[in-house]
Amino acid sequence: MTASDPTPPIVMVEHLSKTYHGRYSLADRLTGRPRSDVQAVRDVSLQIGRGEVLGLIGESGCGKSTLGRAILRLHEPSAGKVWFDGVDVTALDDAGMKAMRRRMQIIFQDPFASLNPRRTVAEIIGLPLKLHNLAKDPADLREKVMAIADKVGLNTGQLDRYPHQFSGGQRQRIGIARALISHPEFIVCDEPVSALDVSIQAQIIQLLLDLKKEMGLTYLFISHDISVIGYLSDRVAVMYLGEIVEQGPVDSVLSRPRHPYTQSLMSAVPEVDRPGHQHRVQLSGDLPSPINPPSGCKFHTRCPLAIDICRQIAPVTEKVGADHTAACHRLHENLSLLEDVPA
Ligand code: SF4
């Protein structure tokens, strides 16, 4: 999607935040200790065009999954708006949200944990049709389950078995079938291949791409693996400690990353290595706690380019190219961790 694209985005997220409130115990009250809130997602704005794959990349614990769930209102947003196909999802009542869920689905990271072990695969896949009254009768339900199972590459002769009787890759196909059976338009793919063997990962990624093309789907694809994001995304959003620090077309962001955090992620990808340069940028320390995030730029505790202002003032998001934005105080100094670290 570009600024000149006349097609309105199917998903628009405006200033979305999600805070989890810690428990405020009697001891906290007596000692005057403040409640430890976790701001998992902070002031995120993004758009996803119809038929597009937006890749969401960041380290474990940075808030990617929370953002995906908040967009679907599986976790209620604390602030901000989500628009889907022109409808303000955040303003829908329970009945409106139930109807909207048919159009917005999720594929989870851990296929085993997300499948009810007491139900057969046919029952699991067919459940959304029952919930949304989309099957005329049991025969119609069975026929639709068989059709989607076949589409995702499951053996339709094994649908009366239980999830534990399937391999990891097959279980993820079951999760995909369950997400697709109600013919949604938008899917949050929450690290759908992270728990799978590398050889199976490629099969599932190809399946998701084939289904997207065939069914006209739109994906928010969440991953901590920048190679996977680079392979299947049209656009990419880079997340650090609950905030989007860089966003734009995948070619632009991954070939010319402007934010030092994106540059550090890229430095771990073998393809960007060039002779004569040492491009590995080791980030020092761990992701800071979202309970007590750093002041100013949240990346300053690990950024090799940090200067005084970074510790005091949060940078604003600026345009750095066509449909490409980043938030860093040093964007205009043409600094790159990928180029400026000699071997
Ligand atoms: Fe690094 Fe400062 Fe830019 Fe943050 S604002 S990414 S600390 S240079």
pLDDT in the model for residue 6: 62
Confidence of residue 343 (pLDDT cuts 50, 70, 90): very low
Neighbours of 327 (CB within 10 A): 24
Which tens digits make up the pLDDT trace of 24-82? 666 777 777 767 788 999 999 999 999 999 999 999 999 999 999 999 999 999 999 99
Give the model's pLDDT for residue 37.
Answer: 83
- CB of 217 sitting under 6 A from ligand 1: no
pLDDT band at 341 (very low <50, low <70, confident <90, very high): very low
What is the reported pLDDT for 187?
97
Tell me how far the alpha carbon of residue 218 lies from the centroid of ligand 1, in angstroms: 32
Range of the domain at 146: 118-183
Residue 235 has a pLDDT of 97
- Token look-up 């109807």 returns 99
Residue 340 has pLDDT above 60, yes or no: no
Asked whether residue 137 is assigned to any structural domain, the reply reads: yes
* 161, part of any domain: yes
Distance CA 69, CA 256 (A): 30
Q: Is the CB of 329 under 6 A from ligand 1?
A: yes
Please report the pLDDT score of residue 87 as a whole number: 96
Q: Bigger pLDDT: 71 or 279? A: 71
- For the CA of 305, the closest atom of ligand 1 is 8
What single-letter DSSP state applies at residue 8?
A: P
CA dihedral (193, 194, 199, 200) positive or negative: negative
The pLDDT of residue 270: 66
pTM: 0.90
In a domain? residue 122 = yes
Residue 135 located in a structural domain:
yes
CA distance 133 to 119: 19
Ligand 1, from 298, 310, 318: best to mutate by most atoms within 8 Å of Cβ? Answer: 310
Which residues, 6 or more positions from 13, have their beta carbon under 8 angstroms from its beta carbon? Answer: 44, 45, 46, 47, 71, 80, 81, 82, 83
Question: Tens of pLDDT along 171-201?
Answer: 999 999 999 999 999 999 999 998 888 889 9
Confidence of residue 291 (pLDDT cuts 50, 70, 90): confident
> CA of 90: how far to CAs of 12, 14, 17, 37, in Å?
11, 11, 12, 22
The average pLDDT across 79-100 equals 96
204 lines ligand 1 (CB under 6 A): no
User: How far is C-alpha 172 from the chain's CA centre?
Assistant: 17
Q: Give me the pLDDT at residue 285, please.
A: 74
Check residue 339 and give its pLDDT.
63
Residue 311 lies in a domain: no
Does 76 fall in a domain? no
pLDDT, tens digit (0-9, with 9 covering 90-100), for 221-275:
999 999 999 999 999 999 999 999 999 999 999 999 999 999 999 887 765 444 5
Tokens describing residue 40: 């998992």
Q: Is the CB of 11 under 6 A from ligand 1?
A: no
What was the pLDDT predicted at 80?
98
Alpha carbon distances (Å) from 44 to 13, 17, 78, 135, 222: 7, 7, 12, 38, 15
The backbone torsions φ and ψ at residue 339, rounded to the nearest 5 degrees and listed phi first, read -110, -20
DSSP state of 285: S
The string of pLDDT tens digits covering residues 94-146 is 999 999 999 999 999 887 788 999 999 999 999 999 999 999 999 999 999 99
Could you give the C-alpha distances from 33 to 29, 38, 130, 263, in angstroms and in order? 7, 15, 48, 39
Q: What is the pLDDT of residue 205?
A: 95
In a domain, 296, yes or no: no
Asked whether residue 11 is assigned to any structural domain, the reply reads no
**Domain total in the chain:** 1
End-to-end CA distance of the chain: 38
The token duo for 63 is: 């808030």
